[in-house]
Amino acid sequence: MKKMISSDFLFLRLLVGYLGEKPQFNWWPTTFIGASSNLFLSPIFPRTTFLSQYHGILEAARRLHDERIGVGSVFHLFRLPEVREQELHGMLSHGGHSFSMESIAGRDAAIAALQKIADGHTSASEGPVKLGCAQDILSPNGIRDISRSYTAAFTQGVKCYPYFAS
């Protein structure tokens, strides 16, 4: 069960990371997932191009979220305890995920995938929004709540930063 949840979390992180990029919703000024990025990164990182793209969006999103939420006893989609970050990196680098890259082939496909994970609706508030306790972030309910927040934010045109606190 833990592996499935981590895979779901990784997929959610990838979807929101992609949607937050400049060509989609312009939350951060990067274009790591796309054809031009592949052309640029593949000669430098031929065996780890996708992993490089993932870490690029992860860092861009993490910086923005940390600026808005703060750092310390809080965790969000792009900042987990170090041991969990290492698990996710290992899972991604060894192909231990179960998601399809077709979901990030375009804005509409990514929104549809995000809505499927959300499995329901909520409204989005501008700025940081506390969703629960830190231990809940990787739970199925935590993943669902994060997905609902970002789905609402993207569809309503608001910048919402869901987080969990200790």
How confident is the prediction along the chain (166 residues), in pLDDT tens digits per residue?
Answer: 455 678 899 999 999 999 999 999 999 999 998 777 777 777 777 777 788 889 999 999 999 999 999 999 999 999 999 999 998 988 888 876 667 777 888 999 999 999 999 999 899 899 999 999 999 999 999 999 999 999 999 999 999 999 999 8
Nearest to 57 by CA among 91, 24, 37, 33: 33
Domain residue spans of the chain: 2-165
Q: At what angle do helices 140-156 and 2-19 cross, to 10 degrees?
A: 10
pTM above 0.85, yes or no: yes
Q: How many residues are there in the chain?
A: 166
Nearest to 76 by CA among 87, 68, 65: 65
